[in-house]
Amino acid sequence: MRILKDFKLPNFKFPKLKMDGISEIEEMTLEEHKEKNKNIKYETKNYKTIKEIFDESTKKYEKEVFVLEKFDHKAPFTEITYSNFRQDVIGLGTGLNKILNLKDKRVVIIGENTYHWYVSYMAMLCGTGIAVPVDKELPANEIENVIKRSKASAIIYSAKKKEVIKKVKDNLPEVEYFIEMNSDAGIQDRDVGANYIIEQGKRIVESGDDSYIKIEIDPEEFKVLIFTSGTTSKAKGVMLCNKNLAQNVNVVSAYVYLDHNDRFFSVLPLHHTYESSIGFLLPMSVGASIAVCEGLKHIVPNLKETHPTAMLAVPLLVENLYKKINDNIVKSKKDKLVKSMIHLTNALKGVNVDIKRKVFKEIYDNLGGKIRIIVSAAAPIDAKVGKWVQDIGISFLQGYGLTETAPIAALTPEFDPKVGSAGKAVTCAELKIPFPNENGEGEVYIKSDTLMLGYYEDEEATKEVIHEENGERWFNSGDVGYLDEDGFLFITGRSKNVIVTQNGKNIYPEEIELMLGNIEEIAECMVYGKEEAGSKELIISVKVIPNYEKLEEKYGKDLTDEQIYKIIWDEIKKVNKKLTSYKAIKKLEIKKDEFEKTTTMKIKRFAELQKDKKN
């Protein structure tokens, strides 16, 4: 799923593993571990809107815990029920509509993962206006651009983003209200606290006004706007509707069994459709709970405190868990024994005897003790890592999709895993490779009810990727892959220009090239992800043809290659300061020859990258 951007992992640690459970295997009675028929029913649900899910779940599971969050690091996790959530959403939605007059307007939501983000997003989806989730890691100038491009009438922001909002506030006269999450402040000019609006909204409801909850949602109405990348004029805004989001919930239910006993661990940023749809809307639909991670450096203690059963992750996180746990096992000198026990437990599982949770108890304990599902998406993952997760008894699933597919297009069925693939088309989708090569590989096309309405204010870009065939809309994903005989998708490359780093960051070269184009000393350039030997990570690099005429005019004749390199690199560093850290250029190559181009004078990126591989 090519949708996650900035995801940096700190150096979290696990305590030393003794793997004592392995030595206890002789004491086990295998009969006790025979798998019972769980009578699990995998069925596609039929929700039309998110409001339908909200209304049903918050009533059915009103006394159940919905969100667990640490509002104070030194205190235990606070438990918030479905009933509390319902009241807060209806209160906020009513207040936004009745007090701030934001009905049918656009509202930016920006902040870290928190209960207040969930409330804000749900209030928009259930009847206020169009939600515009924004990456909290964007620099101030990009946040300002998003707000302007989206034509937002209000900003709901967390306290941690207060200083950034202050910086851009005076440049945004069109914004009617700046609403701070978890603040009790009353209305003062354009500022107001979200808690104040919630409480005032609740009073309006108590007085007998139930107009907000009675708002009917058109399933195909434009309700969410997400910018796929940065915020220059070239960035694309994806327009989604309730049908897109609700279908994510419907189709995942046909492949993965979840119920009110499950608990999701929220560690990925909520402004992405991966986390906000599968990590929020999906658990809400079954009455499950969500434990909000305090931050990446708190992953291990938070897992142990909250005991989640499911976790959404990017490959970087799963691979780090794998590496740290296995390094620990090697230090305990139990690595050979663990390998032999994996073989034995796999053999036993083949005859319906599952002793994995007992044998690998210490590993489970370090992940909270109850983990049963890990879903990896956003970028490819090493198959051996996925196999290891399966080998220790955790269901390892992979998802595939894009922001444009809201995001699920393919997913591994829990009952039919195939490690290494990106999953099978979900029940509302179809995948095809219309123009395969001799190996069956080609661009992946997607037809799905989760497919976006189109790109915001960009009909031309929409037509470039969505093609009508016999009344059906097919989306060209830009990914290259093949489908096996069972319908599983395997991604082998990318034809689109988007650079996807190992931890799932999306970087659009055109955006950076546009900024580099303002440098007088550069005649032409091409930004790309450079593969480095011995590393899976892509280095954000640029090939540059210098503007020798301008260089001579500004710096004189007879410049050496080193001088030209330094002049251009110094200018690139100025551009880097305007970019988020993961987009910054790390490597510069001065190109001596011309770029290969099409007849319309566009650089043939694929051809240039092939040259790079040969050198």
**pTM for this predicted structure:** 0.83
Instruction: Yes or no: say if 452 and 238 are a contact pair by the CB < 8 Å rule.
Output: yes
- Confidence at residue 232, expressed as pLDDT on a 0 to 100 scale: 36
User: What is the rounded distance in angstroms from the CA atom of residue 116 to the CA atom of residue 34?
Assistant: 44
**Average pLDDT of the residues in 559-565:** 96
Strand partners, 400: 410
Strand-strand pairing, 78-81 and 454-455 = unpaired
User: What is the rounded distance in angstroms from the CA atom of residue 609 to the CA atom of residue 588?
Assistant: 15
Do both 529 and 450 map to the same domain? no
- Confidence at residue 531, expressed as pLDDT on a 0 to 100 scale: 81
Given 494, 517, 548, the domain boundary residue is 494
Looking at the domain assignment, is residue 160 inside a domain?
yes
Instruction: Report the interhelical angle of 82-98 vs 50-60 (nearest 10°).
Output: 140
Q: Tell me the pLDDT tens digit for each residue of 334-366.
A: 889 999 999 999 999 888 889 999 999 999 999
Structure tokens at 400: 């595939």
Do both 298 and 390 map to the same domain? yes
- Confidence at residue 315, expressed as pLDDT on a 0 to 100 scale: 84
Confidence class of residue 580 from pLDDT cuts 50, 70 and 90? confident
Peptide bond into 407 cis (omega under 30): yes
- Confidence at residue 234, expressed as pLDDT on a 0 to 100 scale: 58
Confidence class of residue 306 from pLDDT cuts 50, 70 and 90? very high
Looking at the domain assignment, is residue 28 inside a domain?
yes
Which residue range is the domain that position 436 belongs to?
20-36+278-494
Owner of token pair 């009578």:
39
Strand-strand pairing, 395-401 and 408-411 = antiparallel
Confidence class of residue 81 from pLDDT cuts 50, 70 and 90? very high
Do both 345 and 454 map to the same domain? yes
Strand partners, 266: 292
Kindly compute the dihedral angle of the four CA atoms of residues 450, 455, 457, 460, in this order, to the nearest 10 degrees: -130
- Length, in residues, of the chain: 615
Do both 139 and 286 map to the same domain? no
Q: Tell me the pLDDT tens digit for each residue of 103-162.
A: 999 999 999 999 999 999 999 999 999 999 999 988 899 899 999 999 999 999 999 999
Structure tokens at 50: 């998110």
Residues near 178 by Cβ (< 8 Å), separated by ≥ 6? 154, 155, 157, 165, 169, 190, 191, 192
Nearest Cα neighbor of 401 from 248, 240, 224 is 248
Confidence class of residue 233 from pLDDT cuts 50, 70 and 90? very low
- Confidence at residue 342, expressed as pLDDT on a 0 to 100 scale: 94
User: What is the rounded distance in angstroms from the CA atom of residue 307 to the CA atom of residue 303?
Assistant: 6
Given 184, 200, 216, the domain boundary residue is 216
Instruction: Report the interhelical angle of 383-391 vs 335-349 (nearest 10°).
Output: 70
Do both 282 and 339 map to the same domain? yes
SS3 604: coil
Cα atoms found within 13 Å of the Cα of residue 155, Cβ hemisphere only? 28
CATH classification at residue 127: 3.40.50.12780
Instruction: Report the interhelical angle of 50-60 vs 115-125 (nearest 10°).
Output: 120
What's the domain count of the chain?
A: 3
Strand partners, 292: 266
The letter for the amino acid at 358 is K
SS3 392: coil
Torsional class of 504: left (φ above 0), alpha (ψ -120 to 50), beta (otherwise): left
SS3 350: coil
SS3 240: strand
Do both 75 and 196 map to the same domain? yes
Do both 577 and 549 map to the same domain? yes
Structure tokens at 83: 């009933």
